[in-house]
Amino acid sequence: MILEQITMDDFTAGLDKTRTVIIPFGSVEEHGPHLPLGTDTIHVYEVCKEVSNLIPVFVAPPIFYGVCRSTRNHPGTVGISPASLRALTADLVSDLYRQGLRDFLIISGHASGLQLSCLTEVGEELLLKYTDIRVAVLSIVDLAMDGWQDVIVTRDDSHAGEVETSVMLHLRPQWVGEARPQEWPQFPKHLLVRDKLRYWPGGVWGDASQASKEKGVKLFDLSVNALVHLIQDLDGDSDR
């Protein structure tokens, strides 16, 4: 049940089937010279929508803006502060709770450690505030990486490389450019740097030349199946 597509009567009827909602988070962030700025959001939202075709679950509209640290100086990246992300997440969950939802899957297509830390922090606070809810916080990478390893060949592929290029060739082939770059940035160990473009000029972390639409289909399906199983496991566990 896609929230922006259903009526209020559909919503009420849906509560008889499930009290679980997925809230997809993404980013508006550079993804090299070949992928669109909305790659993270498109990826996670399409996975969530496909899951809703398979099992009863609510899917909230995606949050396009995220916390972008390493890519903030690259052209096109538009982010929000950690404080804004935490406040927005808390408000959304609180209002969804008011509407009757009780199990919240907060899943991010943007696998930034800082973004996931913010979402986890809010999740912990919400568990204290509402004693009858369950909250899961994870990234799309956390969801299906084990399965992805049987499909991809690139080691340390994490941004605009083999995985994301393959998935976008499946989901939005008309939005994918011809370039297939490969790059592994070398940031100083432990040291925070101001000029991130100096260490990561191309905005790719991995090898896009290894990407294919066929791999994208497999990677997407693995993510969908993993999310279905996660929701089913939550539904089968009554311990809150």
Count of structural domains within the chain: 1
- Within-domain flag for 225: yes
- Within-domain flag for 82: yes
- Within-domain flag for 84: yes
Question: Per the structure block, which two tokens stand in for 34?
Answer: 């070949």
Q: What is the pLDDT of residue 202?
A: 95
Q: What is the pLDDT of residue 81?
A: 97
Read off the pLDDT of residues 87-101 as tens digits, 9 standing for 90 and up.
999 999 999 999 999
For residue 77, the domain's CATH number is 3.40.50.10310
- Within-domain flag for 240: no
Confidence grade of residue 234 (pLDDT, cut at 50, 70, 90): confident
Question: Per the structure block, which two tokens stand in for 213?
Answer: 């639409």
- Within-domain flag for 97: yes
Domain that holds residue 93: 3-235
- Within-domain flag for 189: yes
Instruction: Using the predicted structure, report yes or no on whether residue 123 has a pLDDT greater than 70.
Output: yes
- Within-domain flag for 151: yes
Q: What is the pLDDT of residue 144?
A: 86
Read off the pLDDT of residues 18-45 as tens digits, 9 standing for 90 and up.
999 999 999 999 999 999 999 999 999 9
Q: What is the pLDDT of residue 83?
A: 97
Instruction: Return the ∠ at Cα 32 (arms to 28 and 38), rounded to 5°.
Output: 25
Mean pLDDT for 144-160 is 91
Is there a contact between 161 and 206 (Cβ–Cβ < 8 Å)?
Answer: yes
Confidence grade of residue 238 (pLDDT, cut at 50, 70, 90): low
Tokens 């950690």, located at residue: 82
Q: Which of 38, 41, 211 is nearest to 140 (CA)?
A: 41
Q: Give the 3-state DSSP-derived string for the chain, with helices as H, strands as E and coil as C.
A: CEHHHCCHHHHHHHCCCCCEEEEEECCECCECECECCCHHHHHHHHHHHHHHHHCCCEECCCECCCCCCCCCCCCCCECCCHHHHHHHHHHHHHHHHHCCCCEEEEEECCCCHHHHHHHHHHHHHHHHHCCCCEEEEEEHHHHHHHHHCCCCCCCCCCECCHHHHHHHHHHCHHHCCCCCCEECCCCCCCCCCCCHHHHCCCCCEEEHHHCCHHHHHHHHHHHHHHHHHHHHHHHCCCCC
- How far apart CA 145 and CA 158 sit, in angstroms, is 11
Q: What is the pLDDT of residue 223?
A: 97
Mean pLDDT for 67-93 is 96
Read off the pLDDT of residues 174-209 as tens digits, 9 standing for 90 and up.
999 999 999 999 889 899 989 999 999 999 999 999
Q: What is the pLDDT of residue 146?
A: 86
- Within-domain flag for 37: yes
pTM: 0.94
